[in-house]
Chains A and B, each alone.
Chain A
Amino acid sequence: MTKQYLNDNGVEYQWVDVDLLDDNDKTRVHTDIISKGGALSYPTIIVDDKTVITGFRKDLLKEALNL
């Protein structure tokens, strides 16, 4: 749903399907998300390596991406 929204708005992004990673990579992603102040809930969207949005929040995405 988030991907769909980003696609529809022509936003460039990279994604990781965290549930399909192996344990080591999972831990790395978790550590990274938490270090940026996120929660371990998905989807987590990181805008420009700083703004963290947890969950598909259209309003927050709009604001962070200037849509």
Chain B
Amino acid sequence: MTTLEQVRKRAEADAKTYGYYLTPQSDLLQMFIEGLKTNEDRYGYPSCPCRLATSNLEIDRDIICPCDYRDPDVAEYGACYCRLYINKAVFESQNLPEVPERRPAEKMERAYGVQVAAPKVSALQTLGAPETPKAPPSAQKTEVKKKLWYCKQCGYVVYREDPPYVCPICKAKREMFAEIEVKVEFKG
């Protein structure tokens, strides 16, 4: 089982690799470390301590810490969604920014089985009769279609649903990723 110390070391090492810092608030940091460990013990992978995992690895893949959204969030706001990872400027100012959720609505809908952009009517509905939970999304919707992607800049290849926002090897942007189409033919 992973220890709290290992989780902390891993986060520190990852921050160092990317030139980030961990949140300077020690109570907050401790909470994140504990949250990551709890999730790793529970699901088998350290999903984001600020988001709800489903225990389905394929659906949670984008929110395994460091999540898919960390690098673009730190680039744009100076911190990730949780504010666990921050950049130097934020670390020095000690002022944690508010970071909006970058995870696309369709991924949240798939994970949670509810319409995220709720129409106004539903607010009225809940005031009256007890709300009926929406039917779980169809199997087709929960299916994760993985593809092979390669970075046109450095050749890094990854097999997942979407290409990364930033190439982990050469830091190229998402636009530099292209899909590798694989054709399988059967004969005889």
- A, B in one complex: yes
| Contact B115–A34 (Cβ < 8 Å) | yes
| Contact A32–B126 (Cβ < 8 Å) | yes
The interface residues of chain B lying within 8 Å CB-to-CB of A42 are 50-52
| Contact B114–A27 (Cβ < 8 Å) | yes
**CB neighbors of B among A19-65 (8 A):** 19, 24, 26-28, 30-32, 34-37, 39-42, 55
Chain A residue nearest to B133 in the complex (CB): A27
Asked if B143 lies at the interface with its beta carbon under 8 angstroms from chain A, I say no
| Contact A35–B51 (Cβ < 8 Å) | no
For the complex formed, measure the closest distance between the CB of B101 and the CB atoms of chain A, giving whole angstroms: 6
| Contact B131–A34 (Cβ < 8 Å) | no
**Residues of B within 8 Å of A, CB-based: how many?**
24
Given contacts A1-B28, A32-B126, A35-B126, contact A40 B133 (CB under 8 A): no
Given contacts A30-B112, A41-B50, contact A36 B131 (CB under 8 A): no
Contact pattern, B 16-47, Cβ under 8 Å of A = 1, otherwise 0 = 00000000000110010000000000100000
| Contact B131–A31 (Cβ < 8 Å) | yes
Given contacts A27-B112, A30-B114, contact A40 B52 (CB under 8 A): yes
| Contact B50–A30 (Cβ < 8 Å) | no
Asked if B138 lies at the interface with its beta carbon under 8 angstroms from chain A, I say no
| Contact A28–B131 (Cβ < 8 Å) | yes
Binding site for B on A (CB under 8 A): 1, 18-19, 24, 26-28, 30-32, 34-37, 39-42, 55
Binding site for A on B (CB under 8 A): 27-28, 31, 42, 50-53, 101, 108, 112-116, 118, 122-123, 125-126, 131, 133-134, 136
Can you identify 23 A-B contacts, CB atoms within 8 angstroms?
A1-B28, A19-B42, A19-B52, A19-B53, A24-B133, A26-B52, A27-B114, A27-B134, A28-B131, A30-B112, A31-B114, A31-B131, A31-B133, A34-B114, A35-B118, A35-B122, A40-B51, A40-B52, A40-B108, A40-B116, A41-B50, A41-B101, A42-B51
